[in-house]
Amino acid sequence: MAAATPALRIEGLQKGFASPEGGRVPVVDLPELTLEREAALAVEGESGSGKTTLLHLIAGILPADAGRIEIGGHLMTGLGEAARDRLRARTLGYLFQTFNLLAGLTAYENVLLGMTFRPRAGLAPREAARRALERVGLWDRRHHRPEQLSVGQQQRVAIARALAGQPLLVLADEPTSNLDAARGAQCMDLLEEFCAETRSALLVVTHDPAVATRFARRLVLRAPEPEPAPPGRG
């Protein structure tokens, strides 16, 4: 059998945004990154260094300006929006910084909704949602809506939603930023253990040293240098 393709492979990735003054502000410039299956990586960087943008690019929420992103050997870059949505649903779990739970739905419905877009052979959505909520200790709160749960509990529902489909790769955006130190550590324990059980690779972006030091493999992200101003002035 051929060696398994990595969970994530990035080459020559670039992204910038149009600046209000005209021109383009480079935000992500990542020549190379490989994350093997079931491996873990912390990406550190100050606020504004492009961490969230990088996750949006990997997840296909934003299109790249240049470069390649492969998820489990499948090319994300170059696909249209609908195909990116499908690839994301099949392969990724995403933990948003602000959880993004749907306010009108219960914990169980939020987790189940994540499964709807994640058709995976051998995983019955209701069974998978139940098991994920049991795993994060919230099965008895399954009928609660997000506003009826504590912030820590909301984060655990979001973890259940991201992991229920046993994704190839989990992307987590500053998962502890809304939690105190003790709950942040508990959240990271849960996330790392759950990823090990589902055999998911884990990429966490953070500016919190307490999170980053948990990881053997760390990458520091810096905002790319702004493009030089045109010469001949001053």
> Which residue ranges make up the site for ligand ADP (CB under 6 A)?
17, 27, 45, 47-53
Contact partner at residue 111 from ligand ADP, Mg ion, none, CB < 5 to 8 Å by partner kind: none
- In the complex with ligand ADP, the residue whose CB is nearer, 97 or 186, is 97
Shortest CB 179 distance to ligand ADP, Å = 17
Shortest CB 33 distance to ligand ADP, Å = 16
Computed over its alpha carbons, how large is the radius of gyration of the chain?
A: 18
- In the complex with Mg ion, the residue whose CB is nearer, 19 or 177, is 177
- In the complex with ligand ADP, the residue whose CB is nearer, 23 or 119, is 23
Compute how many other C-beta atoms are within 10 angstroms of the C-beta atom of residue 234: 4
Shortest CB 228 distance to ligand ADP, Å = 18
**Torsion (CA) 185, 149, 111, 43 in degrees, nearest 10:** -30
Compute how many other C-beta atoms are within 10 angstroms of the C-beta atom of residue 95: 23
Q: Which stretch binds Mg ion (CB under 5 A): 8-16, 43-51, 67-75, 100-108?
A: 43-51
Binding-site size for Mg ion (CB under 5 A) equals 2
Contacts of 109 (CB under 8 A, 6+ apart): 102
Shortest CB 51 distance to ligand ADP, Å = 3
Judge contact between 206 and 193, C-beta under 8 A: no
Alpha-carbon distance of 203 to 212, in angstroms, equals 11
Judge contact between 208 and 45, C-beta under 8 A: no
Rule CB under 5 A: which residues touch Mg ion?
A: 51-52
